[in-house]
Structure 1
Amino acid sequence: MRIGLVVDSACDLPGEYFGQHHITLLPVTVHIGEDSLTDLRDEQETLRFLRSHIAERGADAETSPFTVQQIQELFLSKLVIDYDYVFCLTTARSRSAIFENATQASFAILNEYRPIRAAAGHDTPFALRVVDSQNVFAGQGVTAVEAVRLIEGGEGAPKIRARLENLALHTHAYMIAPDLHYLRARTRKRGDRSVSLFSAALGSALDIKPILHCNRGETGAVAKIKGLEAAAQRLFAFAGERVRRGLMTPTLCLSYGGDLAEMRALPGYEDLRTLCTGYNIEMFETVMGLTGMVNVGKGALVVGFAAEPHVFE
């Protein structure tokens, strides 16, 4: 059985990884004033965006995920021919409309694929499953890597489906948001009142950096640390401790809202990288996608992994 994988462009993995493993992308388009940019997981394009005048207006951006019709067209024109079963792994449905759009599109796809496959010489059924990763950014990347491992390992669709749905419950993303004013402006535009004006002003004045945690579609602060370097060191050390205690997949994902050289210069990074090597954990590093960058701001740092329930220490 030919099994394919589709993700949206908020999934933070290196751009070359998508091509190497034949992952299909559902791009998200970012609109800022009269400018529009499509997030195709091009790290250099994302960095050019950061350095342009457009980035200064990022808090006012609008994002447009693939519509129901666009998803239908992608599947019916290509994927129902290339594959027999497709997993569509989306960013958390609590943060984006992509899951709902893909789910709605799936009904029409499954009703209309037969003559298209028959014309291509395939007389077997086609199936697809939309899976909510229940996570964001580097967290979604962890689940995507596991999907690739299972597909390339020859596992059947039922086992892959059960594994991904279970893994989604145990995937964690921890993020440092360096600019609270930006984060507040962005969350308010999305209708989220979780960052108040007072906390943003106070945090910025005192150089307080929150560490946010996303799991099962819910996001909240788990620590507030003075100074970006101290916060990064604390986060890297915590991730290292989870590695020592054992992860549920041999994968740890990092994404950063800027040049990766800046992330690699942060205290604690090198210790985490060395530790992952020693424990045979594959560490993926990527510039945060344009979609994520617009939503959380320049300089954000995210660490994603899968682990049993735990408390940030």
Structure 2
Amino acid sequence: MNTKIMTDSACDLSKDHYNEFDIEMVPLTVHLDEKEYKDVIDIDPKTVYDAMREGKTPKTSQVSPQTFKAIFTSYAKKNQPLVYISFSSELSGTYQTAKMMETEVKDAYPDAVLHVINTKCASIGYGLIVLHAAKLAKDSATAEEISESVSHQAAHMEHIFTVDDLEYLLRGGRVSKTAAFIGSLLKIKPILHVEDGKLVPLEKIRGSKRLFPRMLEIMEERGADLKNQTIGISHCDDIERAEALATMIKEKFKPREVIIEMVGSVIGAHAGPGTIALFFLNNTDK
């Protein structure tokens, strides 16, 4: 029996990806206008971005322990190996909850083949890892082989991104009020990356014209064999800029493939409309 791959909605893959590779997806929760929505299932990102433009502040919450326990138990009962590839533990408590439920289920079903992996990644960077795992599963790789390969790829996944308005990061506690105010006045565009699962400021760029060229320079400095990679780009309701960045990448690096997806409701609720993110494998030794 092939290994089943499971992910959560913070990977920002499309429903087509879930269907094509038979991936199980568990949704995080979005809170908006005093209502709760299952991410992807009950609410779409455009609704969240439009609400944010109107000044609303959506909140998000992790997957419940009961949900994980029910899913893990169902696979344990039918003796099907399951690999759950999780959103970064530094950005959500979802991974820690899944690990607790993994222990409970393995106590009840000692022979269950169940792996829970912390990618320390987000959005399509995380999604690319899930797709990699799903392809391995389709080729009959074991749960152990998939886990090892996923852990290696996750350790090398770069996240380079920029936000359109520092106000959204301010609301999420990612920048100070002073920095957001000065940044807005000076038209400063931050470049951030993910370091050990956390969002970390990398550089400040004055004006937007220099932004994408600098992101490509960072990509060239850090990227490993970019020509043979699948590059990920995600955007918060700004497909035109995402496609412009994709065109620049194709012209400069000629990668095997570029995947563009909208940033989902969970991550988008904190990053805000206009965010553009770039994902690729780096060349560092880890």
Q: Secondary structure at the match of 1:22?
A: coil
1:180 aligned to which of 166, 176, 179:
166
TM-score after normalising by structure 1: 0.82
2-structure distance, mates of 1:26, 1:135: 16
2:85 aligned with 1:89? yes
Match of 2:191, as an amino acid?
A: I
Match of 2:65, as an amino acid?
A: V
2:107 aligned to which of 111, 120, 124:
111
Mapping 1:238-277, distance limit 5 Å = 238-239=218-219, 245-247=224-226, 250-264=229-243, 266=244, 268-275=245-252
Match of 1:295, as an amino acid?
A: H
Q: How far is 1:13 from its partner?
A: 2.3
2:53 aligned with 1:67? no
Q: How far is 1:274 from its partner?
A: 4.3
Kept in 1, the 8 Å contact 2:115–2:143? The answer is: no
Kept in 2, the 8 Å contact 1:252–1:304? The answer is: yes
Match of 1:110, as an amino acid?
A: K
Residue of structure 2 equivalent to 1:11 = 11
Residue of structure 2 equivalent to 1:219 = 199
Pairwise CA RMSD of aligned residues? 2.6
Mapping 1:1-313, distance limit 5 Å = 1-40=1-40, 45-51=44-50, 53=51, 56-59=54-57, 61-77=58-74, 79-80=75-76, 84-113=80-109, 125-187=111-173, 194-236=174-216, 238-239=218-219, 245-247=224-226, 250-264=229-243, 266=244, 268-275=245-252, 278-280=254-256, 282-309=257-284
- What do the CA deviations read for 1:272-306 (whole angstroms, capped 9, x no partner)? 13456x442x2211010000110111111111112
- What do the CA deviations read for 1:249-290 (whole angstroms, capped 9, x no partner)? 7321111000423422x4x431213456x442x221101000
2-structure distance, mates of 1:19, 1:106: 25
Match of 1:234, as an amino acid?
A: R
CA spacing shift, 1:248–1:213, aligned 2, 3 Å: farther
CA spacing shift, 1:82–1:47, aligned 2, 3 Å: farther
Kept in 2, the 8 Å contact 1:41–1:289? The answer is: no
Q: Secondary structure at the match of 2:99?
A: helix
The count of residues paired between Structure 1 and Structure 2 equals 285
Which runs of 5 or more residues in structure 1 are unaligned?
115-124, 188-193
Kept in 2, the 8 Å contact 1:8–1:25? The answer is: yes
2-structure distance, mates of 1:168, 1:23: 18
- What do the CA deviations read for 1:23-82 (whole angstroms, capped 9, x no partner)? 11120111124132221278x92223323x4653443x32122111111112334x3456
- What do the CA deviations read for 1:213-238 (whole angstroms, capped 9, x no partner)? 10321331221112234313432454
Report percent identity of matched pairs: 23
Kept in 2, the 8 Å contact 1:91–1:133? The answer is: yes
2-structure distance, mates of 1:173, 1:283: 15
Kept in 1, the 8 Å contact 2:194–2:200? The answer is: yes
TM-score after normalising by structure 2: 0.89
Match of 2:250, as an amino acid?
A: R
- What do the CA deviations read for 1:131-179 (whole angstroms, capped 9, x no partner)? 0001111221221122122212222222222121222221111110111
Match of 1:230, as an amino acid?
A: R
1-structure distance, mates of 2:32, 2:159: 27
Q: Secondary structure at the match of 2:71?
A: helix
CA spacing shift, 1:250–1:11, aligned 2, 3 Å: same
Q: Secondary structure at the match of 1:10?
A: helix
Kept in 1, the 8 Å contact 2:158–2:279? The answer is: yes
Q: How far is 1:93 from its partner?
A: 0.5
